Amino acid sequence: MARASGADLLKEYKAKRDFAKTQEPAGAEPVSKEGRGSFVVQKHDATRLHYDFRLELDGVLLSWAVAKGPSNFPGDKRLAVHVEDHPLEYGGFEGTIPEGEYGGGTVMLWDRGTWEPVGDPHEGLEKGDLKFRLYGERLNGEWVLVHMKGRDTKRKSGPPRENWLLIKHKDAYARDKDTLTTRFTRSVDTGRDLKQIAAGAKPIKTSKVKADAVWHSDADEAEQADQTTRILASAKKGKGPGFRPVQLATLVDTVPSGEDWLFEMKYDGYRCLAAVAGNSVQLYTRSGLDWTDKFAALVEPLQKLKIGSALIDGEICAFDDKGRTDFSTLQKVLSEGRRLEFFAFDLLEADGEDVTKLPLIERKERLEKMLGKLAKGSPIQYSSHVAGHGQKVLDALCRDGHEGVIAKSAKAPYRGDRTKSWLKIKCLKRQEFVIGGWSPSTKRKGFASLLLGTWENGKLLYRGRVGTGFSQELLGQMDEKLARLARKDNPFEAVPREIAPAAFIGWSRSSWPRSPIPS
Per-residue pLDDT at 375: 77
Return the pLDDT at 231.
Answer: 52
Choosing from 392, 426, 460, the residue where a domain stops is 426
pLDDT value for 34: 54
Question: Would you mind telling me the total number of residues written for the chain in this entry?
Answer: 519
Q: Which residues pair with 50 in a beta bridge?
A: 44
pLDDT of residue 330: 86
Q: How many CB atoms within 10 Å of residue 257?
A: 12
Separation in Å, CA 202 to CA 24, 88, 205, 297: 12, 20, 9, 37
Per-residue model confidence (pLDDT) at position 28: 56
Among 168, 266, 294, 408, the one annotated catalytic: 266
User: Which of 406-420, 457-471, 484-498 is the most confident on average?
Assistant: 406-420
Predicted pLDDT of residue 89: 83
Give the alpha-carbon dihedral of 67, 70, 71, 77, to 10 degrees.
Answer: 60
Q: Is residue 40 domain-shared with residue 153, that is, in the same domain?
A: yes
Q: Assess whether 266 carries a catalytic annotation.
A: yes
What is the CATH number for 472? 2.40.50.140
**Which DSSP letter does residue 247 get?**
P
Clarify whether residues 174 and 320 are in a common domain. no
**In this structure, are 418 and 312 located in the same domain?**
yes
**Which pLDDT band, with edges at 50, 70 and 90, does 26 fall under?**
low
Is residue 443 located within the same domain as residue 311?
Answer: no
Q: Of 393, 426, 459, which residue sits at a domain end? A: 426
Q: Residue 156 pLDDT more than 80?
A: no
Q: Is 8 helix (H, G, I), strand (E, B) or coil?
A: helix
347-356, 369-378, 385-394, 404-413: lowest mean pLDDT where?
A: 369-378
Whole-angstrom Cα distance, residue 181 to residue 367? 45
Residue 500 clears pLDDT 70, i.e. is over it: no
Residue at 453 is within a domain:
yes
- Spatial distance between the Cα atoms of 508 and 215, rounded to a whole number of angstroms: 67
Give the pLDDT band of residue 514 (cuts 50, 70, 90).
very low
Phi, psi of 463 (to 5 degrees): -120, -5
Alpha carbon 106 to its chain centroid, in Å, reads 36
Structural domain includes residue 366:
yes
Interatomic CA distance for residues 234 and 147, integer angstroms: 46
Domain that holds residue 377: 248-426
Q: What is the pLDDT of residue 203?
A: 38
Q: What is d(CA 427, CA 392) in angstroms, rounded to the nearest whole number?
A: 13
Q: Tell how strand 140-147 and strand 129-136 pair up.
A: antiparallel
> Residue 170, exposed/middle/buried by CB under 10 A (0-12, 13-18, 19+)?
exposed
Q: What angle do CA 241, 233, 245 make, to 5 degrees?
A: 25
The gap between the terminal CA atoms of the chain, to the nearest Å, is 53
Q: What is the mean predicted confidence (pLDDT) over 373-400?
A: 87
Contact 466, 454 (CB under 8 A): no
- Which of 378, 404, 426 marks a domain boundary? 426
Residues 444 and 410 grouped into a single domain: no
Q: pLDDT band at 164, cuts 50/70/90?
A: very high
72 and 128 in a single domain? The answer is yes
Q: Is residue 97 part of a domain?
A: yes
- Do 448 and 420 lie in one domain? The reply is no
Q: Do 421 and 439 belong together in one domain?
A: no
Is the domain of 337 the same as that of 475? no
CB 279, CB 305: distance < 8 Å: no
Across the range 62-83, mean pLDDT stands at: 93
Q: Residue 177 falls within a domain, yes or no?
A: yes
Domain co-membership, 175 together with 265: no
pLDDT digits (tens, 9 = 90+) for 232-288: 555 555 567 889 899 999 988 889 988 899 999 999 889 999 999 888 888 998 888
- For the segment 103-124, what is each residue's pLDDT rounded down to a tens digit? 788 999 999 999 999 888 989 9
Q: Is the pLDDT of residue 362 over 90?
A: yes
Confidence of residue 49 (pLDDT cuts 50, 70, 90): very high
* pLDDT over 90 percentage in the chain: 29
Residue 276 lies in a domain: yes
Residue 414: partners with Cβ closer than 8 Å, 6 or more residues away = 247, 313, 346, 348, 355, 356, 357, 360, 363
Count how many domains the chain has.
Answer: 3
Residue closest to 277 by CA, chosen among 309, 303, 302, 237: 309
What is the pTM for the complete model shown? Answer: 0.44
According to the model, what pLDDT value does residue 234 have?
54
pLDDT on residue 512: 45
Task: Note the Cα 278 to chain centre separation in Å.
Answer: 27
Q: Is 358 inside a domain boundary?
A: yes
* 238 within some domain: no
Same domain? For 386 and 453 the reply is no
pLDDT at residue 430 above 70? no
What does residue 299 show for φ and ψ, rounded to 5 degrees? -65, -55
Pairwise CA distance, residues 331 & 335, whole Å: 6
The answer on 148 and 13 residing in a single domain is yes
Better pLDDT: 476 or 25: 476
Q: Taking the alpha carbons of 98, 99, 101, 105 in that order, is the dihedral positive or negative? A: positive
206 in a structural domain: yes
Q: How far lies 247's CA from each of 20, 285, 417, 419, 420, in Å?
A: 59, 12, 5, 7, 10
How far is the C-alpha of 336 from the C-alpha of 289, rounded, in Å?
Answer: 21
Q: What is the CATH number of the domain that holds 302?
A: 3.30.470.30
Confirm if 7 and 29 have CB atoms less than 8 A apart: yes
Q: Are 43 and 139 in contact (CB under 8 A)?
A: no
**CB of 75 closer than 8 Å to CB of 16:** no
Average pLDDT score over the chain: 80
The residues with which 164 forms a beta bridge, in sequence order, are 80, 147
Gap between the Cα atoms of 320 and 341, Å rounded: 12
Rounded Cα–Cα distance for residues 221 and 179 (Å): 14
**40 pLDDT higher than 90:** yes
Predicted confidence (pLDDT) per residue in 183-232, tens digit: 888 888 888 888 888 887 443 433 333 333 333 333 344 444 445 555 55
